[in-house]
Structure 1
Amino acid sequence: MLLSNIFVFVETNDWDQVKFNKWLATFLALIVGIGTGIVGGAGAFSSAGGAGL
């Protein structure tokens, strides 16, 4: 998230020269998605959560 905030302020007019590794981006998105799903799923059923159910 910090990296995306930094890129907001990076000025460039040559978007054709911007390159990224699609395999690495896909892998990192998968890892982050699985991680947040595990944490979010556990928090949804926790009795010690914010709702206090």
Structure 2
Amino acid sequence: MGEQDIKGKAKELQGKAKELAGDATDNDKLKAEGEVDQAEGKVRQAADDVKDAVS
């Protein structure tokens, strides 16, 4: 587990929290930001997996 994997998981969790907050407050912008953060977190994790596979 690399640094980017950890940062990716943190970003994904942050995004999930934003998405849930957006749902709870009926704030579509916050919900969308959360979805983007989650996607970014997944990309970071995938990049770390590729880096590990190459190493």
Task: Please indicate the TM-score interval, normalised by the length of the shorter structure.
Answer: 0.3 to 0.5
* Higher Rg of the two aligned structures: 1
Larger relative helix fraction: 2
TM-score (norm 1): 0.45
User: Higher relative contact order by CA 8 Å / sep ≥ 6: 1 or 2?
Assistant: 2
